[in-house]
Amino acid sequence: MLAAVRFPALAVAILAMTGCAATGGDVPASRRSTAASPSIASVTPAPVPTATPTATATPSADKDSYQAGICLDTAKTIREVTCDRPHNFEVMLSKRLEQRRRPSVRSMSRTCWSALKTYLSSTDTAASRLEATHYGPWKGKDGKWRFSCLAAERGRNDKEVRRTGSLAGALAGGLGAFQLCLEGEPLDEGPLRVVPCSRPHRSEAIPGVMAVDDFPPGRKGLMKVGLRAGLHCEKPGAAYLGGTRRGAESRGVAPTREAWLDGFTDAVCFVVSKTPVKGVMKSTGRP
């Protein structure tokens, strides 16, 4: 049912880079971290809140698939619309499975996060407000399991944005208007408080997403991936800022192993300002 469609409950490890050393920020008590703090870094897991659409309908058995490129308006019920009309979700991919077993949420999630990069024409999708989720599964009239991969834009309070226009190839020219900016820091208490980058904010996700190809199990795996993310983000951060900027630093934000297994396999680079700014901190124009 579509009520189960939601932005993924991601967990992240964050590493703040200041020159060659790294220190973690204060962690809200609700994050319940038991992380030890090694000499070079504090890597802290933290859940990201989720958003859930309001529609609760389920496709009928004679609904074989939703065509890629069409959009879904879920304001009251599930309604297929052309993407120039107001909608919440855009269909990126529909799958018909030969297996008899119901597909797992994890397998659908992995398929959809991979499809997002292809649909948006970018490997930097994780630095944008555009996210993947799935619709289904359901059985068609032939008895085969089906599900659809959907794209949506994350808005304030983690709610999906009701928008117009297609997202196909939306990031081919860079993050542009879809760049992820946050009022606070990625580990702040409560919702992420996503805002347009023209509004006051402190954190900007930037180009230079790092693919996490392997994730060793256990706490050491989280530490290893977090350290790699922090070190990786120094160069994109410096390039983005045009060198150094007083009161700003780069951060590496990596998925936990659970999020990685769910298909969110990228570490995201942020630049974070100590005080709110308007407009992007990029040295020349938008990314």
Per-residue pLDDT, 62: 52
Domain boundaries, the chain: 8-19+40-50+173-277, 71-158
**Residue at 51: amino acid letter:** A
Can you list the residues of the chain whose pLDDT is less than 70? Answer: 1-64, 189, 284-287
CA angle 43, 45, 51 (to 5 degrees): 145
**Residue at 186: amino acid letter:** P
Question: DSSP states of 253-285 as a string?
Answer: EEE-HHHHHTT--EEEEEEEEEEEESS---SSS
Q: Which two tokens stand for residue 247?
A: 């009161």
- Each residue of 101-150: pLDDT tens digit? 999 999 999 999 999 999 999 999 999 999 999 999 998 888 899 999 99
What is the model's pTM?
0.79
Per-residue pLDDT, 68: 93
